[in-house]
Chains A and B, each alone.
Chain A
Amino acid sequence: MRQEILRLEDVTYKKEDMIIFRNMMLNIMDGEVMGLCPLNTYGLDELLEVIISNPPLYYGYVYYQERCVNSWKETGHGRNRICIIGSETSLVNGLSVVTNIFTLRAGFGKELVNEHILARQLVPFLEEIGISLDPFMLVDNLTSYERVLVELLRAIVAGYRLIIFREIGTVISEEELKSLHQIMHYYTGKKFSFLYISFHFEEIQQICRRAALMSEGNIDLIFEEEQVQKGVSNALYLDYYNHVSHRVHHHVRASGEEVLLVRDMSGRYLDHFRFRVYKGECLVIQSLDTQIYKEMLEILNQEDGRLHADMVIRGKRVKGYASRQVAFLKEEPSQTMLFEHLSVRDNLCIALDGKLPSIWRKKGTQKSVREEYARIFGEDIFDQYIHELTLEQRINVVYMRILLEKPDVVFIVQPFKHAGTPHRLQIWELLTLLLERGIAIVILAMNMSDSLTVADRVIRINRVNGKMVTKEFTQEQFAELPLYVPWVEFFDELEEKETAEEET
């Protein structure tokens, strides 16, 4: 007989007098990997809060391991034994792996800790999932994948029956994701359950037998195994799909002059990696190895302005970003790259003061900038402070800054990360706008997400037997990419159509 690990029964949740979701029903059985595919982020944080923290409910019941832990009649006490593993670490830096796994958990009552005994206790856990890890290593030195595994082991050791993976595909590489899926399968055999949250149904298809589709804070449909395997992505993102497919059909980008050549990018893992980008071209560099990815980001995001790679822009060697010919957008730039307590106008002036140091004094220039961009982004946001803006407006400001800077090349790290369908569509439009203005884009990613729809070329980079291996795909070769990469099926269909047209 199966056990129900989690059940939300008819839950209505209100926050600040606003109903976030109404009549929510969700259940997860033991030994199950349940997928959750949100079309937008609305209500997602609150849903996780209801699952984990037992906040007061307006109506409904929450059951964990078939026991009512929270209801509208009586608010639950404390948190449920459920953990979330996502892009932020929950490990305590400065402490070893073994300390994080064993001693920093509820119920660990020993006062004298012998790390060697704990390390011996950890060995069977590591052996059963076939990984080797130094138990005494400080967690600061772990790779992203190792960090995820340590968090998973900590949850397993603590006896958490439900573990939530939130957009884990954006944190670890494809190869590591496959290994993680195997480990998850192993634990489902031991009756542990997982809630696997991803914005891409293709990723959910790889691991989940059932999946819930969520939009505007509601669970729209629960997909059973057959439906999950059949794939319903086109129906899910119909507007987005139609929009993008129409544009990709009409997208012809002439390969213009070479604007950037990066050569001799070397480090511990990178070995004389080189690539070139042309004017108005979008190149996606997808790393299948987290170490390489991390190293590449470290080299390209040199905050001291000194690049550890040979970078040639329009035939001239540059030594950093001081020339402002190259721009760099970090992950989630709308949260990390704007000055919160300055107005939008001031944020834009900062972007321009490299080229026009007098921008702060020249009200006329400021006015013309405002007029030019008000047509695209609307008039009302210029005098607002960043912290007053919606996410959509913040994303606009980030890309407006790039448009103002007019660099030859912009490096963008996982632009679609944490974005629901409407924001993905918005980012897609903004990237297309940059390309139309002749700015070359280099997307650095571990998870392809929607990058394929905007890409002209893809370089996949991996480590095989300790050696770096790269493979390049032009747009005509996109159909050769693995099927689980989002949008590959679209290019497959495109290729078939073109072949059919040629034959007729």
Chain B
Amino acid sequence: MFVCMDRGVAIPESIWIFLGLVGVTVAVGYFWIGKPYRKLIAQIQRFSDGYISLQDMNEMDVALAPEIERMIRHINKLVTSARNLDMSKRQAQYRALQNQINPHFLYNTLEGIRSEAIIAGLDNLGDMTEALAVFFRYTISKVENLVTVEEELENCSIYFKIQQYRFGNRIRLKVQMDPEDKDDILHCLIPKLTLQPILENSIIHGVELKVDEGLVTIDITRTKTRLLIRVTDDGVGMDRKTLDKLNAKLGSKEEEVKNYTRPEKGGVALVNVNNRVHLIFGEEYGMHVYSLENVGTSVELTIPVVMNENELKKKELE
């Protein structure tokens, strides 16, 4: 069979079949090899630049060969086991510390101090001791992973009360949220000790260094899918270099590994909170810091709306 062309020259059908086969081969090569290869290269690039973690690499659906996939899984296992070892070491240290403290002994002592203070007519000291006892009770005793926003805010206000004994009226705290969503927001679940370290950071590195009165605002907004928590202070702020370094740390997934093996100084509290959020909710959520020298700092934390722990487990399964 021949296919006729305009000028009467015939092209054998076999050539058409050959061209068709070449086309199919090119398409298959592009979609099965070229595209996944480019995707893999992009991922390796992001991994080397610290944008994604090894775990994210492991979860990717691209692998050129089963050997590469196995290698990534193996590296991940090695890192995870080192991390787990480190975590269990830390947990053991924490437990030892907790046992040394003996919560009941601590609370009883603080209660004793409080009673003595009240008897002596030192109401302020009594209140302060009570606040400290409640703060420790929340920090040390409760071992749950997720708590409600209401509990976290309560802990923040107690922490702030303790700080106010030191700073007096020089610092103010304002908590604001949309009145319509208030009930919903207060019942949302967030990792325990998320807000207090941020608040502490705002006070210690922001308003404490300021000569005038300082204001810290906690603003919580709820959308359909996210909880946006913004802790803003009008303190001394930070220079561009420090800010860039801090945000790079918060954005980098290398920190998750680095922090377990060799903890660094500076911005550790924020980085730790951020890492916990990443580990619990995934890399799409986390923290970002904005700051301008002599104007103030704002820490923005984004987490998904979770109303009960089952929801989170369900999301994890999905």
Residues on A lying within 8 angstroms of B by beta carbon are 1-4, 9-10, 12, 22-23, 25, 27, 29, 58-59, 61, 66, 72, 213, 216, 218-222, 224, 226-227, 232, 235-236
Contacts and interface: CB of A to CB of B under 8 A. Distances in A.
Contacts of B244: 22, 218
Interface string B266-284: 0000000000000000001
Nearest to B51: A59
Contacts of B297: 221
A364 to B, nearest CB: 49
A1 B181 contact: yes
A42 to B, nearest CB: 13
Contact of A227 (B181, B251, B296): B296
Contact of B224 (A27, A66, A72): A66
B223 A25 contact: no
Contact of A10 (B181, B226, B288, B292): B288
Interface in B236-263: 237, 240, 243-244, 247-248, 250-251
Contact of B234 (A66, A220, A227): A227
A2 B226 CA distance: 10
A25 to B, nearest CB: 4
Nearest to B174: A226
B292 A1 contact: no
A220 B302 contact: no
A23 B178 contact: no
Contacts of B225: 66
A61 B288 CA distance: 14
Contacts of B46: 58-59, 72
Given A25-B288, A222-B290, A235-B292, A3 B224 contact: yes
Interface centre among A2, A12, A66 (most CB of B within 10 A): A2
A135 B86 CA distance: 72
A23 B284 contact: no
Interface stretch (B15-23, B64-72, B112-120, B214-222): B214-222
B286 interface: yes
A25 B291 contact: no
B232 interface: yes
A25 B295 CA distance: 19
B295 A4 contact: no
B180 interface: yes
Contacts of B284: 9, 61
Interface in B21-52: 42, 46, 51-52
B251 A23 contact: yes
B296 A23 contact: no
Contacts of B222: 1-2
A220 B221 contact: no
Contact of B223 (A1, A61, A72): A1
Contact of A221 (B51, B223, B286, B292): B292
A218 B288 CA distance: 12
Top-7 shortest CB links A-B: A23-B251, A25-B288, A221-B292, A59-B51, A221-B290, A4-B223, A23-B247
B223 A222 contact: no
B57 to A, nearest CB: 12
Given A23-B288, A213-B292, A224-B232, A3 B223 contact: yes
Contact of B298 (A12, A58, A59, A222): A222
B178 A2 contact: yes
Given A2-B221, A23-B288, A224-B217, A10 B251 contact: yes
B102 interface: no
A86 to B, nearest CB: 26
B308 interface: no
A2 B223 contact: yes
Contacts of A3: 223-224
B224 A224 contact: no
B228 A220 contact: no
A74 to B, nearest CB: 9
B300 interface: yes
A12 B298 CA distance: 20
Contacts of B296: 221, 227
A221 B290 CA distance: 5
B192 to A, nearest CB: 24
B295 A232 contact: yes
B141 interface: no
